[in-house]
């Protein structure tokens, strides 16, 4: 409450100092959020909440935001979304993949409310989707992983076998193998986005298999803690996880939702909001690469940053042929680039990963 | 391909948080109190333990503080149910919700900080894991061989009779609740101090509920609690190990296994009880009932 009061009063002071209350002070735009985890998870939900705070900082008293945290994916999400819609929120962000069907159901009942669903693929006139090209960041992490591993085994803790996660596994593996042809990838599915104890167990299982670099697509710092115990390295996921610098956390993928949230709320305020699918990456600043620490040799760091720049400039796409699928069938020919449709439905590993995707 | 010893060592460590919490709840339930607030007490311990470990730089001080923190919040439950005679189920659920919220509130300044590292004990296993294992025979001895344990069980089986014999029912139950809180607190702190090394909101992620289930699974015996905790921990660790080793087993099936096992054991227990009331442990007679001395 204090922070909101502060933001409001700062905004009020700015309005006074401008001496011209340009916009008529009618009802503020009410914006709602549902989060899959607690705002204090230090990862995924934390980053979304930073985006929410950025909206308040940007638009001051023209907007009013609320959030409901730790909403389970499934039927309960429908209740939370309905509650937000009934409370007068006209723009609602649902920030997890599993909220997809609840969003579609509730959106059908509230045609005047606009919904934004993160990482999903179902849209309607009042449902837009947005996603980040995490796989671009994974390419950079994969490069570092391939160079840093001594056992030539890198581990990946997956959350759920959905396209977003599979893209990350493939992208990491492709780029690790590019710099180190000996690399093998071990994948463990935690079947949770946030379960510190289970993530720790998953990391221990990978370490026991001889893995010395761990990538994670789950949101807690538990895998980093386990990596540290075993002298292995890992990467921050969703947020920087800076407490584990300089090692085991040697770099990180940071989700920066603030620019997108500010843009969409702005569109609501000036009436230009339309349903669309947004998929932004490193170039737009939605996917950031956290500081690469000195635990990584300078030439590896340079190589990783060069790759990041190439991706940002559009010169290089992480899924560029020749690439085969894990079953040996051809996927992309030399120089061919994967389409967004192929990526958003990705349900196969690339050649070289020997595991199988649970169905 | 998979070395059984390493799986076993991982299993024992993975089972530790629920082992502590379930052993504590076992004593509470044997005193006739059903405290559904295990999750709340665990998270309180996870936070207070982490805060103390961070402030002093000593993880063991952290575990001590976790026991105190867990016991402190459990005394609230004791006040509600033993002094004010409130409903135990409702109070326990409230304790869970209260603990989660309170910890989230007080934990804000601690987010993003890392806990001091612990030195491992024998076999590269944390001392706290060893402590958890040592608690099993201790609690068995206390419940089955000590006079104090006999009184505690008497209070749990028939509080009217215990009262008539002159035993202070509410005092015994209050002490059991505090002990249960301390054990849950240490279990929670094992997650924050030894496993994750960071404080995050909601980090116990339902471990308290599994602990409650394990007490039923154990048929209210200390050895049964150990078996239950190892089964849950073991199946979790084993399925992750099988995945990491690239062995093709349906993951969903393994994830289901501990719950299936619980159902089977519960069916067996109830079948046995049907034919012979009181075989070994079984639910304490006064479980979940408040005691009010009329005479």
DSSP letter string over B108-141? GGGTTPBPPPPPP-GGG--HHHHHHHHHHHHHHH
- pLDDT tens digits, one per residue of A292-335: 999 999 999 999 999 999 999 999 999 998 999 998 899 999 99
Residues 83-102 of A with CB under 8 A from B: none
pLDDT of residue A7 exceeding 60, the answer is no
In sequence order, the 6+-apart residues with CB closer than 8 A to the CB of A132 are A255, A257, A279, A280, A281, A286, A287
- The residue out of A132, A148, A173 marking a domain boundary is A132
| In a domain? residue A208 | yes
Residue A114 burial (CB < 10 Å; 0-12/13-18/19+)?
A: buried
Q: Nearest-5° angle of CA B213, CA A202, CA B118? A: 85
For residue B287, the Cα-to-chain-centroid distance in whole angstroms is 17
Mean of all residue pLDDT scores within chain A: 89
In sequence order, the 6+-apart residues with CB closer than 8 A to the CB of A160 are A97, A189, A191, A193
Mean pLDDT of A20-29: 60
Asked if A100 and A12 sit in the same domain, the reply is yes
How many of the other CB atoms lie within 10 Å of CB of B292? 10
What confidence category does residue B10 fall into, taking pLDDT thresholds of 50, 70 and 90?
confident
Residues of B in Cβ contact (< 8 Å) with A356? 248
| In a domain? residue A198 | yes
| In a domain? residue B173 | yes
CA distance A33 to chain B (A): 18
| In a domain? residue B283 | no
| In a domain? residue B286 | no
| In a domain? residue A27 | yes
| In a domain? residue B281 | no
CATH number of the domain enclosing B59: 1.10.3470
Asked if A170 and A301 sit in the same domain, the reply is yes
| In a domain? residue A264 | no
Asked if A46 and A67 sit in the same domain, the reply is yes
CA distance B109 to chain A (A): 10
DSSP state of B191: I
pLDDT of residue A160 exceeding 60, the answer is yes
- pLDDT tens digits, one per residue of A172-195: 999 999 999 999 999 999 888 888
CA distance A68 to chain B (A): 14
Which pLDDT score, from 0 to 100, does residue A195 have?
Answer: 83
Residues B160 and B166: their CA atoms lie apart, in Å, by 10
| In a domain? residue B147 | yes
Asked if A160 and A127 sit in the same domain, the reply is no
Domain residue limits at A100: 2-132
Which of A40, A206, A358 lies at the smallest CB-CB distance from B201? Answer: A40
What's the structural domain count of chain A?
2
Q: Is B209 on the interface with A (CB under 8 A)?
A: no
Which pLDDT score, from 0 to 100, does residue B218 have?
Answer: 87
- Please judge whether B201 and A202 are an interchain contact, meaning their C-beta atoms are less than 8 angstroms apart: no
| In a domain? residue A276 | no
Cα separation values, A158 from A134, A168, A223, A353, Å: 14, 9, 12, 14
- Give the pairing of strands A29-34 and A63-68: parallel
- The residue out of A67, A97, A132 marking a domain boundary is A132
| In a domain? residue A267 | no
Phi, psi (deg, nearest 5) at residue B95: -60, -40
Asked if A335 and A193 sit in the same domain, the reply is yes
| In a domain? residue B287 | no
Asked if A6 and A76 sit in the same domain, the reply is yes
| In a domain? residue A356 | no
Asked if A40 and A152 sit in the same domain, the reply is no
Which pLDDT score, from 0 to 100, does residue B179 have?
Answer: 97
Which pLDDT score, from 0 to 100, does residue A15 have?
Answer: 46
- The residue out of A132, A156, A175 marking a domain boundary is A132
CATH number of the domain enclosing A73: 3.40.50.2300
Q: What is the value of pTM for the model shown?
A: 0.80
Asked if A166 and A236 sit in the same domain, the reply is yes
B-interface mutation test, from A197, A240, A349, A352, most B Cβ less than 10 A away: A197
pLDDT of residue B205 exceeding 90, the answer is no
| In a domain? residue A309 | yes
Find out whether A291 and A259 touch, Cβ atoms under 8 Å: no
- pLDDT tens digits, one per residue of B80-139: 999 999 999 999 999 999 999 999 889 888 877 778 877 777 777 789 999 999 999 999
- pLDDT tens digits, one per residue of B46-82: 999 999 999 999 999 999 999 999 999 999 999 999 9
| In a domain? residue B280 | no
Nearest to A101 by CA among A79, A126, A83, A78: A78
| In a domain? residue B126 | yes
Find out whether A146 and A177 touch, Cβ atoms under 8 Å: yes
Asked if A58 and A83 sit in the same domain, the reply is yes
Asked if A186 and A334 sit in the same domain, the reply is yes
Asked if A72 and A183 sit in the same domain, the reply is no
pLDDT of residue B189 exceeding 80, the answer is yes
Domain residue limits at B100: 4-275
Which pLDDT score, from 0 to 100, does residue B17 have?
Answer: 94
Find out whether B79 and B138 touch, Cβ atoms under 8 Å: no
Which pLDDT score, from 0 to 100, does residue A18 have?
Answer: 44
CA distance B158 to chain A (A): 38
Which pLDDT score, from 0 to 100, does residue B280 have?
Answer: 47
- The 3-state DSSP class for residue A327 equals coil
Mean pLDDT of A83-88: 95
In sequence order, the 6+-apart residues with CB closer than 8 A to the CB of A20 are none
Mean pLDDT of B222-234: 90
- The 3-state DSSP class for residue A219 equals coil
Residues B56 and B73: their CA atoms lie apart, in Å, by 22
What's the structural domain count of chain B?
1
Asked if A199 and A330 sit in the same domain, the reply is yes
- pLDDT tens digits, one per residue of A104-136: 999 999 999 999 999 888 999 999 999 999 999
């Amino acid at each position: 409450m204090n922070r909101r009061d502060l933001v409001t009063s700062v905004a009020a002071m700015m309005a006074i100092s401008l001496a011209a209350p340009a916009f008529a002070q009618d009802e503020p735009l009410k914006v709602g959020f549902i989060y899959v985890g607690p705002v204090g998870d230090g990862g995924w939900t934390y980053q979304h909440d930073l985006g929410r705070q950025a909206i308040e900082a940007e638009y001051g008293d023209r907007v009013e935001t609320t959030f409901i945290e730790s909403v389970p994916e499934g039927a309960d999400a429908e209740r939370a979304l309905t509650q937000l819609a009934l409370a007068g929120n006209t723009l609602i962000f649902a920030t997890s993949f599993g909220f997809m069907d609840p969003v579609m159901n509730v959106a059908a009942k509230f045609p005047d409310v606009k919904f934004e669903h993160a990482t999903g693929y179902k849209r309607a006139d009042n449902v837009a989707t947005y996603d980040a090209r995490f796989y671009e960041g994974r390419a950079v992490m994969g490069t570092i992983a391939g160079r840093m591993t001594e056992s030539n085994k890198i581990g990946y803790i997956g959350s759920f076998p959905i396209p977003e996660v599979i893209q990350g596994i493939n992208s990491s593996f492709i780029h690790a193998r590019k710099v180190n042809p000996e690399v093998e990838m071990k994948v463990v599915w935690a079947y949770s986005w946030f379960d510190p104890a289970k993530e720790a167990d998953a990391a221990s299982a990978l370490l026991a298999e001889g893995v010395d670099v761990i990538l994670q697509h789950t949101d807690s710092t538990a895998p980093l803690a386990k990596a540290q115990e075993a002298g292995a390295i890992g990467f921050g996921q969703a947020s920087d996880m800076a407490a584990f610098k300089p090692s085991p956390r040697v770099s990180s993928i940071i989700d920066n939702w603030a620019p997108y949230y500010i843009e969409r709320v702005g569109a609501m305020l000036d009436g230009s909001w339309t349903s669309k699918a947004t998929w932004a990456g490193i170039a737009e600043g939605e996917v950031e690469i956290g500081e690469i620490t000195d635990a990584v040799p300078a030439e590896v760091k340079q190589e990783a940053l060069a790759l990041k720049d190439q991706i940002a400039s559009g010169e290089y796409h992480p899924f560029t042929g020749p690439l085969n699928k894990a079953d040996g069938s051809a996927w992309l020919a030399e120089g061919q680039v994967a389409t967004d449709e192929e990526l958003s439905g990705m349900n196969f590993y690339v050649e070289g990963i020997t595991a199988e995707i649970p169905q | 391909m998979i070395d059984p010893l390493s799986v076993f060592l991982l299993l024992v460590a993975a089972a530790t948080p629920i082992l502590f919490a379930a052993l504590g709840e076992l004593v509470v339930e044997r005193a006739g109190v059903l405290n559904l607030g295990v999750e709340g007490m665990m998270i309180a311990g996870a936070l207070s333990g982490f805060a103390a470990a961070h402030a002093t730089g000593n993880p063991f001080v952290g575990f001590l503080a976790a026991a105190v923190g867990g016991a402190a919040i459990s005394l609230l439950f004791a006040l509600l149910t033993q002094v004010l005679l409130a409903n135990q189920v409702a109070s326990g659920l409230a304790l869970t919700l209260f603990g989660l919220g309170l910890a989230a509130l007080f934990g804000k300044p601690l987010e993003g900080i890392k806990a001091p590292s612990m030195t491992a004990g024998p076999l590269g296993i944390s001392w706290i894991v060893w402590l958890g294992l040592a608690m099993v025979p201790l609690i068995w001895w206390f419940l089955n061989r000590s006079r104090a344990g006999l009184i505690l069980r008497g209070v749990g089986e028939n509080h009217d009779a215990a009262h008539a014999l002159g035993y202070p029912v509410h005092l015994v139950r209050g002490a059991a609740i505090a002990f249960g809180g301390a054990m849950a607190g240490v279990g929670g702190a094992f997650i924050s101090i030894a496993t994750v090394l960071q404080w995050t909101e909601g980090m116990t992620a339902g471990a308290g509920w599994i602990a409650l289930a394990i007490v039923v699974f154990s048929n209210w015996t200390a050895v049964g609690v150990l078996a239950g905790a190892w089964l849950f921990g073991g199946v979790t660790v084993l399925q992750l190990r099988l995945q990491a080793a690239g062995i093709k087993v349906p993951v969903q099936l393994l994830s289901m296994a501990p719950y299936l096992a619980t159902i089977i054991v519960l069916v067996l227990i109830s079948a046995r009880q049907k034919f012979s009331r009181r075989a070994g442990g079984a639910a304490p007679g006064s479980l979940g009932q408040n005691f009010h001395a009329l005479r």
